[in-house]
Amino acid sequence: MSARTMEPLSYDPRGAFLETTGIAPADLEALRPRLLKARDEVLSDAELWAKGAAVPEAKHPLDAGFTFLPDRLLAEYRDQGATSEVGRIIAAANRIAEAVDRIVVLGIGGSYMGARALLESCCHAYHNELPRAARDARPRISFEGNNVDNDASQGLLDLLGRGAEAKSVDDRWGILVISKSGGTLETAAAFRQFLAALRQSTGRDANRLAQLVVPVTGPSGRLFDLAKALGCPDVFNIPDGVGGRFSIFTAVGLLPAAVLGLDIVKLLEGAALANAHFQTQPPGHNVALDYVGVCHLMEEKRGATIRLLSTWGKGLEAAGLWYDQLLSESLGKQEKGATPITVVNTRDLHSRGQQHQEGKRDKLVTNVIVDRYNRDRLAIGRSDLDQDKLNELADKTLPDVMAAAIAGTNEAYREDGRPTTDLHLPRLDEATMGQFFQMLMLATATEGRLIGINPYGQPGVEGYKKHMNAFLRGKK
């Protein structure tokens, strides 16, 4: 499927058009000039970064390299094939997939959240539980280095065999370690621990160990130096100008996705389509700009400082958590920035629905709705045991129930003046998710420029790192 025939995302803001608790179409029209100006600034930021020109002090840091990255990677792949960045990622992924039955991804924040989102949205719902043949001989995947939870790390080491020497591909595992500097303590500590176990698993064979470790890092730093010392045959670079939370279309996200057997070219094509849409479509027809406009107006006019990303179905929970980080670190500065919360429905209607329906009026709900399922529709079915009184619904399918739940929830919210919008995804696949991730990154950068916040950099995170290290090293 080419980018030109790909089905686009769509955004319906009509549920937020409420007279006393929402906004009006005229409000969006009045915001139009500012939205266009913010879009122009995001695009000029990307051009400024690409040219390598001097960056004005007011724009430091300027991590705008993510913007046209998908287009550049696709062009290089079409021109250079196997020797391009994408070609090398695919080759390394295939090599590691043939060698191991489990890959451990070590990384924190943006260094693992995109990969986890792609696993949950694009792979079989129970990928890790399937036998190897049913996974098309692709590895299981585990994530660590994203916390310092002692028992969780010990549990994964148990699962990996406690360093027992691997005898076949069925008990062989490898490591993808992701850190731009190598200095993030959570990931660095995990790499030391899991590398020791992997060394034992290879029978202390240094060459075999190097083959089973793939670092993704910057062109210098502690992890880069470790990779050289190990002699890893494949080391992938995180390019300058791409911050962690914007890095899903670098090897940070593409390499784990390719190991899982996902089509990373389609993923990039989806992102490129989102770029083209963002650049060419006006407000009223532009998903990113309309999303930013509604969110901004609800915050400014109605105090909706909490944004609920209401995902309908289980496959998008990790994608929502990825977006939580993106929005929080990008706009949560200078005492500004909405608070993002991901919910999964219908599950969370039974835990949070009451508060969303009748709690404080400080929320905007964005429903993320998947229009078509990848699997056959599962009917409720008829039974001789009809004590549950479901035979009258026997021919209804789970998608029918989901559609009724979405419509019913939106109607209930509307009756109570609770604003909602709907973001429609054609289906869960690589092309759609490429659009989804890129659209939200563009929207976040645009909103930053709209409200006068630099969407790049993360000063608050650096503060915790500094103090944590001081306590650990006895300097406090």
Write the CATH number for 434: 3.40.50.10490
Give the pLDDT mean for 452-468: 83
Same domain, 52 and 84: no
Mark whether 98 is an active-site residue: no
Please check whether residue 260 is in contact with residue 118, taking contact to mean a CB–CB distance below 8 angstroms: yes
Is the same domain home to 153 and 172? yes
Average confidence score pLDDT of the chain:
96
Choose the catalytic residue: 51, 167, 350, 389: 350
Residue with tokens 């994408």: 86
Q: Is the pLDDT of residue 1 over 50?
A: no
Our CA dihedral for 296, 343, 67, 305, rounded to 10 degrees, sits at: 20
pLDDT band at 465 (very low <50, low <70, confident <90, very high): confident
Structural domain including 197 reads: 66-266
Q: Count the alpha carbons within 13 Å of 405 in the hemisphere toward its beta carbon.
A: 20
Res. 476: pLDDT tops 80: no
Whether cis (ω within 30° of 0) applies to the bond prior to 61 is yes
124, 333, 424, 465: which is the annotated catalytic residue?
465
Query: Which tens digit of pLDDT belongs to each residue from 282-340?
Result: 999 999 999 999 999 999 999 999 999 999 999 999 999 999 999 999 999 999 999 99
Query: Within this chain, do residues 181 and 241 fall inside the same structural domain, yes or no?
Result: yes
Residue 1 domain flag: no
Query: Among the listed ranges 52-61, 83-92, 305-314, 440-449, which one has the minimum average pLDDT value?
Result: 52-61
Of 329, 356, 363, 430, the active-site residue reads: 329
CB 242 within 8 A of CB 248: no
Q: What is the pLDDT of residue 110?
A: 93
| 312 & 401 share domain | yes
- Indicate whether 462 pLDDT > 80: no
Quick one: which of 313, 312, 311 has its CA closest to 342? 311
**pLDDT, tens digit, for every residue of 146-174?**
999 999 999 999 999 998 999 999 999 99
Nearest-10 crossing angle of helices 251-259, 85-99: 40
Where does a domain end: 218, 242, 266?
266
Residue 121: what pLDDT? Answer: 98
Tell me the per-residue pLDDT of 231-283, one tens digit each, with 9 for 90 and over: 999 999 999 999 999 999 999 999 999 999 999 999 999 999 999 999 999 99
- Considering the domain architecture, whether residues 173 and 204 belong to the same structural domain is answered as yes
Domain count, the chain: 2
pLDDT over 90, % of the chain: 92
Residue 147 CB: number of other CB atoms within 10 A? Answer: 12
Question: Does 301 qualify as catalytic in the annotation?
Answer: no
Residues 194 and 107 placed together within one structural domain of the fold = yes
User: Active-site residue 467, yes or no?
Assistant: no
